[in-house]
Structure 1
Amino acid sequence: MATTIQIKGPVLSNDQAAFYSWIGLDEDSFVSYSAIKNQLDNTFAADDVVLEINSPGGDVNAASDIYSELRKCAQNNKNTIIANITGMAASAASFIAMAADEINMAPLSKFMIHKAGAEISGNSDDMDYVSSVLNQTDEQLADVYAAKTGMDKGKILNMMAQETYISATEAVDMGFADKVIYEPSSKSGNSITNFATEFQITAMEKRASNLKLPSQEQINKFKALQDSEPNGKPGKEPEPVKPNNHKKTPREIYLANAQKLKETTNGK
C-alpha cells in the first residue's frame, strides 16, 4: 500500500498555516509541518509514502521539520519515501524532496536551488548576525544536496548563489533526481528521452550499410604488397586486369575524340 501526500503551494510555519486556515483558504493550497505529520502518523509501517511536489518553497525551518519527519519514518517505520516532482520543487521544497529515497521528475518539471534569505531590520550587528546564520544555513543545505548528488560542495554553493533552475533531464544527469517519469511518446512509440540514442544508432547503421567492400583486384594488390621477399623487396603483383571489359569514362571519351580531331586537322 502507499500513502500519497500533497506538497502543493508555499511551505508555511504552523502559525502561518493556522492563519491561512482561519481566513478560509483551502488547506490543499499550502503546506505545513503539522498537516504532514498528521498524515504520516496515519501511515502503516513499511508502506510507501509518495510525495506529489509542486511548490515554490517557503519557510526553511518548516521545511526542515518536514524533512526530519520523513527521514524518521524511513528509518524507524521502514517507510520508503518516493518524491514525484510534477511541477516545481523550488527553494525549501527542493530539500523536502531530498528526504526521499527515490526522486522522480515529470518531463516539464523543474528543480531550483538558491541561497537562504531573510527580511530583517536593525543595526549593523543585527545584520552581521543574520548573515552568519544564513551562511550556516547555506552550508547545511549544500551538505544535503551533495550527499544526494555526490557533487562537489563548492560547486553546489556556487549554483545556489546563482539561483539555479534545473530541468528534469539535467536533474537526473546531475544526481538531484533518479529518473524522468510520465514521459510522452513519439508517434512511433519510442520514448522522447531515448530518441537521441536511437537516432544515433540508426545513423550509424545507415553509414555502415553504405560502406563498400574492396574489389578482388584491390585485395590481390594488397596481398602482393604484404608477401614481400626477405630482402625487403615487394613480391610480384598480380597481372593487371585486361581492359577489354573496361568502360571508358566521359573524360577518356572526350580526350580520344580530341586526339582524333587533332589528327584529322593535321592531315588536312
Structure 2
Amino acid sequence: MSTTTAEFVVSGAEALLRVSPVTLGSDRGELAVEAGGWLNDPVAGSCRGALGVPLDDVTGYVVAAGSGTDRWPVSLGIRLDFLADPPIAGPPMTVTGELIARDDLGGTTRGVVADASGRPIALVTQRSHLVEVATRPSNSTVDFELPAGEVTVRDALGFRDITAGIVELSPTPLAANGMGNVHGGVLICGSEFAAMSALDAGGVLRTSSIDIAYVRPGDAASMTSFEAEVVHRGRSLAVVRVNARSSTGKLCAVANVVVQR
C-alpha cells in the first residue's frame, strides 16, 4: 500500500465558505477560512453550522493523507460544539485537525476553529470510514460563481423553509463535495436551519452542539429535505432531532441539535 499527501479539493462547498489549505499531513492539518457577512443568518442568528464544512475537511484530510491512494475516507459521524459565533469581519479563521487513532478501517480525528486572536470558536470530533475508490477526488475545472459577500450561506445554497421545521435544499453545485455528494458540512447547515425553523428562533437562539450520523450519501444535484422534531424545549435549552432525506425519500443523515438562549 502506498500513501500520499492528499490533494485539497476545492469543491462547491469549499468555494462558498472561502476555505483554503495551509498544511495537510497524516497527523495534522490546517486550513484557513475567511470571515464574512455570509455567516449571518436571519433565523439562526449566526450560521454556526457552516463551520462544519472546514472542520469536516481538515479532519477528513488527515485520515486521507495517511491512507492508501486507492482509498478515501467518508464520514460516519461528526460531533460539533460551538463556543461563539464565527466572526463576520477581520482576518481569516484558523482550522486545525489532528489524528487521534487510525486502523485499516478508518480513523478518528478532532479539530478546532479559532479566530485571529486564537480564541476557540468550535470543536469537532469525527469518525471516518475508508472506502475503495478507482481514483481519488480531484479539483474540478468548474469555475464556481460565488454570490456577493453579503449573500448569506442560506440564500447562496438555496435553502427554503417549507413549513415550521421542514427545510429544503435546492440542487446546487455549491453544496457538493469532491465526489458530487452533498457535503457533510452542508448537511450540518441544513440540520441547524431545520432545528431553528422548528423552534421559530428568530435570530435570538444559538446552536450549542450538533451530533450527526451519516447513513448514506445525498446527491447534490437533487433536492434534499430536512425534517425537524422538537424532542425537548425548556426556558433556556432545546433539543431537536433532524432527519435529512434525498429526493427519493431515503434517509441521508440524522442529527441531534442542541440550542440555547
> What is the TM-score normalised by the length of structure 2?
0.24
Which structure's relative contact order is higher, taking Cα pairs within 8 Å and 6+ residues apart?
Answer: 2
The structure in which a higher percent of residues are helix is 1
* Greater Rg over alpha carbons, structure: 1
